[in-house]
């Protein structure tokens, strides 16, 4: 088992706060929107004051032919 991408980002940003939560949203193309929806909830509920949402996507399962 490998660390999630979110855990790697937290580590590379040198975030040491133990209360900082890092997790991946595996939701395909609209994952960044789901991340914003969750961030909005955490701020409005008072559970968070600062949020960092990182959107990234990889294309897997196909190759682009080269000539």
- Choose between 13 and 66: higher pLDDT: 13
pLDDT tens per residue, range 32-50: 889 899 999 999 999 999 9
Can you tell me which residue has the tokens 């909830």? 41
Closest CA to 34 of 57, 11, 17, 14: 57
pLDDT band at 59 (very low <50, low <70, confident <90, very high): low
Q: What is the pTM of this model?
A: 0.69
Going 45 to 9 to 14 to 22, the CA torsion angle's sign is positive
**Mean pLDDT calculated for residue range 10-37:** 88
Q: What is the pLDDT of residue 61?
A: 64
Can you tell me which residue has the tokens 């133990």? 18
Four-point Cα dihedral 36, 41, 43, 46, nearest 10: -160
């Amino acid at each position: 088992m490998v660390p999630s991408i979110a855990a790697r980002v937290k580590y590379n940003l040198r975030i040491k706060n133990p209360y900082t939560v890092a997790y991946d949203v595996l939701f395909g193309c609209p994952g960044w929107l789901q991340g914003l929806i969750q961030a909005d909830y955490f701020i409005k509920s008072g559970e968070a004051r600062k949020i960092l949402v990182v959107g990234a996507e990889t294309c897997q399962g196909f190759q682009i032919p080269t000539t």
